[in-house]
């Protein structure tokens, strides 16, 4: 049986109303209509528009005050509140703490009290799974790469151990047999990415290692494995190909295409912080082609409206940013490919990251996501990826983020509207700027509902 968390309102006109969760989500409470629990003024007083947020990862649950006027209380102990002379929008200047909750705790917001009930009946995985997919034999022979001492020093013990055990015939790591670690090429809060080379074929690949931060649970591991299998069905010129994956030694590992030119962020640095309009448009139009394909492709594991998992259409990225747009050249033309298609978000949603959504750092997701994804990220639609692609284009052209951010980026997404692009750089062509600004509209909904529609508007703006 899966772990569940139930919130029960125990006071006032809504007393007895319950909310039950069996998977990872964030749950915002406040007076605003777009909160997950919208609290009517006439029922409960002294509740702020965005009062607090719960990070729910059954059986774990954490709470954070969002700079409320009257404070959030746990068992009558205040855990957060803005200063009386502070406006709500000014609370972003100081980061507010987060607290873990336990079974039986009571949350008080103004006149409302909610009781937390945690039921923890989970099946713990006691063995390594062998969810392997055979690696296609590459037909391109390359010179043998030699890792230098400086690069070798950056390779983690986890990565070294995986390769060592793979070459000692560990059946769960068979996919990695005959590979050699060359260098670390990327690192974030979810894991590491290495350049590896096959000792026999000399083919290079990118090896992503993702280490769960929570106890091994078979249901969580299975859920994330299904997400990777979904990615393997995506075969498109502008989506990075997944060559194979596996799970062993309590670590997920994924072999992917390697792109020597790096990502859009690398290109921006090489060009002084911005990318010229023709080149940036060429990149984002290819990205939109990849997104349009992914959003309509049939994949084996989709959660349906009735809660069952079955075949379905449409795979969202949910974490598109310049770091995840990889570059290469084919026939001397720049080719862009979307990488990590939903991997980080799937890792988080599966409850494997152990990371709270409110603790996302500056190099992470909130910089390129719309407010809809913060408020209802379990119910996201393709338009959130379209918005993110517009944010990436904005960043490429200006070197700036669409929003202004402070110390609470998660809250900034809710409170700060995107800045019109020509206020960042007035050299952006007017018609193009109008389309980009339109693509970043979030209220009451995201303007462009599909990647194809945004692409068409961009093309028309420059013709």
**H or E, element range at 324:** none
Mean pLDDT of successive 10-residue stretches along the chain, which has 463 residues? 88 90 88 88 82 90 90 92 69 67 93 92 45 39 63 80 91 91 83 90 90 66 84 93 88 90 94 95 97 94 78 89 92 91 67 50 68 83 96 98 88 92 96 98 95 97 91
Give pLDDT tens digits for 266-325: 999 999 999 999 999 999 999 999 999 999 999 888 877 777 888 888 899 988 999 999
Backbone angles phi, psi at 228, to 5 degrees: -65, -40
**Of 336, 337, 340, which Cα lies nearest the Cα of 316?**
340
Sign of the CA dihedral 148, 149, 154, 158?
A: positive
CA distances from 235 to 231, 294, 297 (A): 9, 9, 10
Is residue 440 within 8 A of residue 419, CB to CB? The reply is: no
The three-class DSSP label of residue 152 is helix
CA distances from 303 to 181, 318, 368, 379 (A): 36, 16, 25, 11
Tokens representing residue 204 in the block? 């290079």
Round the CA-based radius of gyration of the chain to a whole number and report it: 23
The pLDDT of residue 128 is: 41
The pLDDT of residue 135 is: 35
Is residue 224 within 8 A of residue 191, CB to CB? The reply is: no
Tokens representing residue 402 in the block? 């669409």
| pTM > 0.85: yes or no | no
CA distances from 345 to 36, 72, 251, 320 (A): 19, 28, 17, 10
Query: How far is it, in rounded angstroms, from Cα 101 to Cα 89?
Result: 27
Q: How far is CA 146 from the centre of its chain?
A: 34
CA distances from 12 to 19, 42, 86, 103 (A): 16, 11, 29, 22
Tokens 């990118």 correspond to 206
Query: How far is it, in rounded angstroms, from Cα 235 to Cα 252?
Result: 22
Give pLDDT tens digits for 48-91: 988 999 999 888 899 999 888 899 999 999 998 887 676 655 55
């Amino acid at each position: 049986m899966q772990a569940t968390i139930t919130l029960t309102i125990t006071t006032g006109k809504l007393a007895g109303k319950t909310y039950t969760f069996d998977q990872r989500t964030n749950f915002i409470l406040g007076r605003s209509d777009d909160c997950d629990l919208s609290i009517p003024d006439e029922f409960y007083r002294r509740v702020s528009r965005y009062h607090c947020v719960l990070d729910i990862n059954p059986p774990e649950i954490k709470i954070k005050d969002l700079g409320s006027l009257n404070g959030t209380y746990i068992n009558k102990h205040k855990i957060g509140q803005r200063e009386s002379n502070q406006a709500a929008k000014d609370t972003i200047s100081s980061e507010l703490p987060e607290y873990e909750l336990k079974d039986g705790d009571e949350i008080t917001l103004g006149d409302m009290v909610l009781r937390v009930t945690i039921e923890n009946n989970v099946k713990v995985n006691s063995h390594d799974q062998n969810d392997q997919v055979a690696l296609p034999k590459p037909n391109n022979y390359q010179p043998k790469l030699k890792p230098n001492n400086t690069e070798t020093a950056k390779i983690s013990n986890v990565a070294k151990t995986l390769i060592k055990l793979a070459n000692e015939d560990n059946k769960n790591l068979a996919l990695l047999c005959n590979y050699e670690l060359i260098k670390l090429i990327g690192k974030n809060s979810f894991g590491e990415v290495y350049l590896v080379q096959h000792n026999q074929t000399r083919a290079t690949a990118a090896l992503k290692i993702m280490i769960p931060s929570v106890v091994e649970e078979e249901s969580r591991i299975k859920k994330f494995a299904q997400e990777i299998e979904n990615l393997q069905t995506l075969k498109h010129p502008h989506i990075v190909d997944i060559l194979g994956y596996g799970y062993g030694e309590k670590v997920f590992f994924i072999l992917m295409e390697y792109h020597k030119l790096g990502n859009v962020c690398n290109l921006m640095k090489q060009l002084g912080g911005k990318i010229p309009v023709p080149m940036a448009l060429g990149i984002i139009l290819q990205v939109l082609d990849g997104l349009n394909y992914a959003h309509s492709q049939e994949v084996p594991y989709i959660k349906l409206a009735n809660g069952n998992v079955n075949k379905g259409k449409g795979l969202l990225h949910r974490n598109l940013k310049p770091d995840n747009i990889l570059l290469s050249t084919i026939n001397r033309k720049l080719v862009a490919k979307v990488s990590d298609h939903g991997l980080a978000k799937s890792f988080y949603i599966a409850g494997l990251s152990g990371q709270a959504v409110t603790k996302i750092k500056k190099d992470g997701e909130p910089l390129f996501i719309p407010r809809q994804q913060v408020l209802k990220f379990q119910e996201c639609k393709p338009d959130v990826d379209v918005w993110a692609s517009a944010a990436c284009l904005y960043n490429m052209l200006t070197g700036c983020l669409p929003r202004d951010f402070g110390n609470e980026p998660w809250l900034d997404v809710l409170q700060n509207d995107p800045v019109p692009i020509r206020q960042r750089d007035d050299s952006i062509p007017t018609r193009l700027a109008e389309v980009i600004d339109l693509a970043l509209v979030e209220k009451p909904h995201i303007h462009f509902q599909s990647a194809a529609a945004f692409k068409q508007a961009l093309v028309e703006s420059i013709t």
